[in-house]
């Protein structure tokens, strides 16, 4: 059966829209609490109810208040720890927000909403829900710069079989230095000897760029730091079998 990216993406986004069409979720536990630290309330709930707290944990994940970022991440991690496979569609919706043109979320690295999406990606990996990275990565260069910069983190957290080759493509062909750097960060976590050459190619380009700046009597501290990071990454992944 031929893979149709557009149909799959549309169906997944539609699932998210159906959730929204059902009307706003009632106030989550954290919204209702007026007198205590939200994370402490959540930990107490989980300690008291165990897996019976799962419905409320899902409500917290659905809550749209951005100031609840720490609680949402804790709820996501707890759902994954409980192996709650019924939360997979909700977690997919969060991750695939990167591809949703109608999303009003803030994108890029770093920002609180990106951390929530990264937590959802880690949870999906823990729940062994695959097939998401190819959807995120399809036609990746057409994404807006802020979304491109978040992409390496998400596919790195998903850690699917295609992740290394995706990171290689970003490092080799990325036109935005920050996006490439984010891919090198993930390659440092996940790469091995086979990825040394692609990182070295990008390092050579950065070193040439920096040398030209020095010749012109200029400098770029961020570029210099990225060069040193790439050098250390090559040494690290080159030592792996």
Give me the mean pLDDT over the 199-224 stretch: 97
pLDDT of residue 35 exceeding 90:
no
Domain ranges of the chain: 7-136
pLDDT of residue 13 exceeding 60:
no
Q: Are 165 and 183 in contact (CB under 8 A)?
A: no
Could you give the CA distance from residue 14 to residue 20 in angstroms, rounded to a whole number?
Answer: 10
Instruction: Output the pLDDT for position 38.
Output: 64
The predicted model scores a pTM of: 0.82
In the chain, % helix, strand, coil (3-state, to 5) comes to 75, 0, 25
pLDDT tens track for 180-204? 999 999 999 999 999 999 999 999 9
- Residues near 26 by beta carbon (within 8 Å), at least 6 away in sequence: 59
pLDDT tens track for 91-140? 999 999 999 999 999 999 888 999 999 999 999 999 999 999 999 999 99
- Residues near 154 by beta carbon (within 8 Å), at least 6 away in sequence: 95, 98, 117, 118, 121, 133, 136
Which is more confident, 214 or 49? 214
Could you give the CA distance from residue 181 to residue 143 in angstroms, rounded to a whole number?
Answer: 17
Q: Position of tokens 């536990």?
A: 29
The pLDDT > 70 percentage for the chain reads 84
Instruction: Output the pLDDT for position 3.
Output: 39
Could you give the CA distance from residue 170 to residue 185 in angstroms, rounded to a whole number?
Answer: 12
Rg of the Cα atoms in the chain: 20
Helices (H), 174-220: 177-190, 196-215
Where does the pLDDT of residue 27 fall: very low under 50, low under 70, confident under 90, or very high at 90 and above? low
């Amino acid at each position: 059966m031929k893979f149709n990216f557009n149909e799959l993406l549309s169906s997944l986004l539609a699932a998210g829209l159906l959730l929204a069409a059902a009307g706003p979720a009632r106030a989550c536990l954290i919204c209702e609490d007026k007198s205590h630290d939200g994370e402490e309330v959540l930990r107490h709930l989980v300690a008291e109810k165990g897996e019976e707290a799962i419905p409320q944990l899902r409500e917290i994940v659905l809550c749209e208040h951005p100031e609840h970022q720490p609680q949402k991440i804790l709820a996501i991690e707890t759902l994954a720890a409980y192996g709650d496979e019924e939360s997979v569609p909700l977690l997919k919706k969060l991750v695939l927000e990167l591809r949703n043109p109608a999303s009003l979320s803030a994108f890029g690295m770093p920002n609180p909403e990106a951390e929530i999406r990264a937590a959802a990606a880690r949870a999906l990996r823990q729940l062994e829900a695959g097939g998401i990275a190819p959807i995120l990565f399809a036609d990746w260069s057409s994404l807006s710069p802020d979304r491109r910069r978040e992409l390496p983190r998400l596919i790195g957290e998903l850690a699917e079989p295609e992740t290394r080759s995706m990171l290689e493509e970003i490092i080799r062909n990325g036109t935005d230095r920050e996006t490439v750097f984010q891919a090198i960060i993930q390659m440092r976590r996940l790469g091995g000897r086979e990825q040394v050459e692609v990182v070295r190619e990008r390092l050579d380009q950065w070193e040439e760029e920096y040398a030209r700046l020095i010749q012109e009597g200029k400098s770029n501290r961020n570029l210099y730091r990225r060069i040193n990071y790439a050098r250390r990454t090559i040494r690290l992944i080159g030592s792996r079998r």
